[in-house]
């Protein structure tokens, strides 16, 4: 068993730390955020993720996971899982990776392992981390083993994916890759592939970029469909009958801390990333496009009230980071709209978080922003009674048009033309 320090106990670091602890390793979760460290030491979590609360409570009670605001000196393995946010000019803000790497230097001893898990621009290990780690006087790759092993877990399914997904380990040399593989073998049941650190960085970014570009294609289809008299969702379902086609779903934009940001790390590093750049801009244009659609339905925005259902970046999680629906909310408010929000998952992250029916009271339109499970069973007759304007806009193709219309409401769908080209007979 190893002693492991996980630096950064957020959405990635905490589940990773808890998983290692559950296998009997002695794990320290090191973070400067005292609130997160104090919660951890009480066996509590401050994020929403299925199963994580129970796991953390258990491993803390067993004494295998502790939180600390100091970097512990005597660990075998240091795993960096700090945020890599984006600057306003869309370049990566690497200050947390830098300071985490610096914090490790005085702790390093011969035989130690350093792993970067945070998603980072290509060449981060080589160009940013190695020069700092070398200040320890130890030989990297010979006395200290260094690798990038990107996290690839899907929020909402984190514990399952940590265990079952395959993993890429990109070392600065073969020995580093092999040593780091041994560490992850204790928690990963999927296959572990070895490569170089820069290839691993590129893989992670391309995985999320692949998804971003494909969602951009779906969003472009939605816009074209509204213009050309078709329903994008019908096109997608029919086109996806083709054995080699899999068009993703349009929506109000792409959010979260990964897909909405990572492609910019490639744009920053290479001016060849043109399609990637366009796709990012297309996805970023969606909140404004939805705002325009609402304005079209209501005949203007000033003085109107919108009941907005769901503001997190995707369903059934509490994360509002980079949420396109939060951007939509802001755009509507700037245009003079009163926005009532109902989000059963965002909790206190939203001031004045309404209940499902209170939210609709006197509103001109109900807009479904996120398809949370709680919205499956909305009673549209009750909603119709409360809404002032009898309009519903579904940005996720989630609500049944028939149920909405039976209640006397007009159903609008993102990606569906209001002037559908129909059969003559």
Give the contact letters, 271-310, x = binds to ligand SAJ (CB under 6 A), - = no: ----------------------------------------
Residue 152 engages ligand SAJ in binding (rule: CB under 6 A): yes
Which one, 322 or 364, has the nearer CB to ligand SAJ?
322
CA–CA dist 262, 150 (Å, integer) = 12
CA-to-CA distance for 35 and 31, rounded, in angstroms? Answer: 9
Plot region of 250 (φ>0 → left; ψ -120 to 50 → alpha; else → beta): beta
Q: How far apart are CA 192 and CA 208, in angstroms?
A: 19
Provide the mask over 314-353, with x wherever binding to ligand SAJ is found by CB under 6 A and - wherever it is not: x---------------------------------------
- Sign of the alpha-carbon torsion through 129, 149, 112, 45: positive
Q: Check: CB of residue 415 under 8 Å from CB of residue 224.
A: no
Nearer to ligand SAJ, 78 or 313 (CB): 313
Stretch 230-249: interaction string toward ligand SAJ, x if CB under 6 A: ------------------xx
- CB atoms inside a 10 Å sphere around CB 272: 10
Q: Which two tokens stand for residue 58?
A: 């258990």
Annotated catalytic residue, options 204, 293, 304, 329: 204
* Rounded Cα distance, 329 and 337, in Å: 9
Which one of 258, 304, 359, 416 is the catalytic residue?
A: 258
Q: Is 217 in the site for ligand SAJ (CB under 6 A)?
A: no
Minimum CB–partner distance for residue 3 and ligand SAJ (Å): 26
CB of residue 313 to ligand SAJ, shortest distance in Å? 4
Least distance to ligand SAJ, CB of residue 302, Å = 29
Tell me which of 6, 14, 146, 153 binds ligand SAJ, using CB under 6 A.
153
Residue 375 interacts with ligand SAJ (CB under 6 A): yes or no? no
The bridge status of strand 305-309 relative to strand 338-342 is: parallel
State yes or no: is 349 an active-site residue.
no
In the complex, the smallest distance separating the C-beta of residue 335 from ligand SAJ, rounded to whole angstroms, is 23
Q: Is 359 noted as a catalytic residue in this protein? A: no
Q: Is 261 in the site for ligand SAJ (CB under 6 A)?
A: no
Nearest to 105 by CA among 69, 142, 146, 67: 146
DSSP structural state of residue 241: T
- Give the angle 258-11-8 at the CA atoms, nearest 5°: 105
Find the binder of ligand SAJ among 17, 65, 254, 359 (CB under 6 A). Answer: 254
Kindly state the smallest distance separating residue 290's Cβ from ligand SAJ, in Å: 12
15 in contact with ligand SAJ (CB under 6 A): no
The yes or no reply on residue 179 touching ligand SAJ (CB under 6 A) is no
Q: What is the largest CA-CA distance in the chain?
A: 81
Determine which residue in the list 215, 276, 365, 378 makes contact with ligand SAJ, applying CB under 6 A: 215
Q: Is 197 in the site for ligand SAJ (CB under 6 A)?
A: no
Q: Does 154 bind ligand SAJ (CB under 6 A)?
A: yes
Residue 59 · residue 25 · CB < 8 Å: no
In what side-by-side order are the strands of the sheet with 410-413? 338-342, 305-309, 365-368, 391-394, 410-413
Binding span for ligand SAJ by CB under 6 A among 44-52, 56-64, 149-157, 401-409: 149-157
Inter-residue contact 65 to 75 (CB < 8 Å)? no
What contacts 49, CB < 8 A, 6 or more positions away?
11, 15, 155, 156, 158, 159, 317
| Interface residue list for ligand SAJ (CB under 6 A) | 119, 151-155, 207-208, 211, 215, 248-249, 251, 254-256, 258-259, 313-314
Catalytic residues: 204, 258
């Amino acid at each position: 068993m190893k002693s492991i320090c996980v630096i950064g106990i957020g959405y990635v670091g905490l589940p990773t730390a808890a998983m290692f602890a559950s296998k009997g390793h002695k794990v320290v979760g090191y973070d400067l955020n005292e609130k997160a460290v104090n919660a951890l030491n009480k066996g509590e979590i401050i994020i929403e993720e299925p199963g994580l609360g129970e796991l953390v409570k258990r491993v803390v009670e067993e004494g295998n996971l502790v939180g600390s605001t100091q970097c512990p000196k005597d660990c075998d393995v240091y795993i960096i899982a700090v945020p890599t946010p984006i600057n306003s000019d869309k370049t990566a803000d690497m200050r947390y990776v830098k300071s985490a790497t610096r914090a490790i230097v005085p702790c390093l001893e011969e035989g130690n392992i350093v792993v970067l898990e945070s998603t980072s621009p290509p060449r981060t290990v080589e160009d940013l981390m190695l020069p700092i780690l070398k200040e320890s006087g130890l030989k990297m790759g010979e006395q200290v083993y260094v690798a990038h092993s990107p996290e690839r877990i899907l929020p909402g399914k984190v514990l399952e994916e940590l265990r079952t997904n395959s993993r890429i380990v990109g070392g600065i040399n073969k020995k580093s890759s092999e040593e780091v593989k041994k560490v992850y073998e204790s928690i990963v049941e999927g296959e572990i592939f070895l490569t170089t650190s820069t290839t691993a960085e590129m893989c992670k970014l391309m995985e999320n970029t692949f998804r971003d570009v494909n969602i951009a294609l779906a969003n472009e289809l939605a816009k074209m469909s509204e213009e050309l008299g078709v329903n994008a969702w019908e096109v997608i379902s029919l086109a996806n009958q083709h054995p080699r086609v899999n068009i993703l779903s349009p929506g109000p934009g792409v959010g979260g801390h990964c897909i909405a940001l990572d492609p910019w790390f490639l744009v920053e590093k290479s001016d060849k990333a043109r399609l990637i750049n366009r796709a990012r801009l297309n996805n970023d244009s969606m909140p404004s496009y939805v705002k325009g659609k609402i304005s079209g339905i209501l005949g203007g925005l000033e003085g109107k009230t919108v009941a907005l259902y769901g503001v997190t970046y995707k369903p059934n999680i509490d994360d509002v980071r980079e949420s396109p629906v939060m951007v939509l909310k802001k755009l509507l408010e700037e245009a003079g709209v009163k926005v009532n929000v109902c989000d059963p998952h965002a909790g206190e992250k939203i001031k004045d978080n309404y209940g499902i029916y209170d939210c609709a009271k006197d509103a001109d339109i109900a807009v479904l922003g996120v398809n949370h499970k709680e919205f499956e069973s909305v009673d549209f007759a009750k909603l119709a009674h409360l809404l002032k304007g009898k309009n519903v806009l579904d940005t996720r193709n989630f609500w049944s048009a028939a149920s909405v219309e039976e209640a006397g409401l007009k159903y609008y769908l993102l990606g569906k033309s209001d002037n559908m080209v129909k059969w003559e007979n």
